Amino acid sequence: MNILVKGDIGPMLEIENVSHRYGANKALERVSLRLARGGFHALLGPNGAGKSTLIALITGLLRSQNGEIRVAGHSLSRRPRDVRRHLGVVFQQPTLDLDLSVRQNLLYHASLHGLGRRQARECCERELARQHLEPRANDKVRQLNGGHRRRLEIARALLHEPELLILDEASVGLDTASRQALNEHVRTLCRERGMSVLWTTHLLDEIEPQDPVVVLCAGRVIADSQAQALCTHTGTHTLHEAFGLLTTKPSDTVTEGQS
């Protein structure tokens, strides 16, 4: 995950030695990772691994207790506004207003971003088109299926055209076909817009062999490598087997280049 493509001016996301406690409960322990600019990256971990806590820290929902988080080179503690400008987030729990239309939800959010009326309209129409939601623009969110609601949340997260999109277990609650369609949709967006995506999940069928993955387990990074390298390292044939081994018997961290 820390391989930089020639010409890059630095990583998209850097996390250095971040720990977090909820009272006596240690949720994250000296977590460090780097995401190169552009491309689809996965953050994997079983339930309770600390994925949502890490995302809450990156997005500023939780206050960082120690360590350093930088987005596009901007320090979250020193330049939170610059960080927010570069960041779009789809949280695990949907936060759409079900009784407003698709377009109204977007316009409301655009106004929260401080966009003027005209610019807000333009941004909304652009995202409705990109997420293939134009035909549903006047429908109430309540009328949409789960997959379309998630697309609307992605549209909302991209209104200000961030370079990094974080999705926290975005496919939870969707049926298999909708999960697959959402995953493919995000990968296409990523390719077409040159964005960086951090996709968190505990569902391994959403990961492709060439994806860079970070695996969190019990609050620690236990692997940071390409998905297929995890199989090579653990001597397994599938990512399911590799993940099972790594998360039940965590040893040294698996990093890029190990096999």
Ligand X SMILES: Nc1ncnc2c1ncn2[C@@H]1O[C@H](COP(=O)(O)OP(=O)(O)OP(=O)(O)O)[C@@H](O)[C@H]1O
User: Which residues are at the interface with ligand X (CB under 6 A)?
Assistant: 22, 25, 27, 45, 47-53, 202
Q: Which is nearer to ligand X, 49 or 164 (CB)?
A: 49
Closer to ligand X by Cβ: residue 49 or 254? 49
Please list the alpha-helical segments (H only) found in 46-116. 51-58, 80-86, 102-112
β-sheet bridge partners, residue 71 = 13, 74
Q: At 194, which amino acid appears?
A: G
Contacts for 45 with CB less than 8 Å, ≥ 6 apart: 51, 200, 202, 215, 216, 217, 247
The minimum distance between CB 56 and ligand X, in angstroms, equals 7
The residue (of 38 and 50) whose beta carbon lies closer to ligand X is 50
Q: Which two tokens stand for residue 55?
A: 């995302």
Backbone phi, then psi, for 234, in 5-degree steps?
A: -95, -5
CB of 201 to ligand X, least distance (A): 9
Closest CA to 198 of 62, 32, 36: 36
Give least dist CB 148 to ligand X, A: 23
Closer residue to ligand X (CB): 14 or 168: 168
Task: For tokens 């049926």, name the residue.
Answer: 175
CB of 65 to ligand X, least distance (A): 13
- Closest approach of Cβ 19 to ligand X, in Å? 12
Q: CB–CB of 228/210 below 8 Å?
A: yes
- Kindly give, in sequence order, each residue whose CB lies less than 8 Å from that of residue 118, ignoring residues fewer than 6 positions away: none
117-130 vs 102-112: helix crossing angle, rounded to 10? 130
Of residues 52 and 225, the one with the C-beta less far from ligand X: 52
In whole angstroms, the minimum distance from the beta carbon of 50 to ligand X comes to 4
Which amino acid belongs to residue 165? L
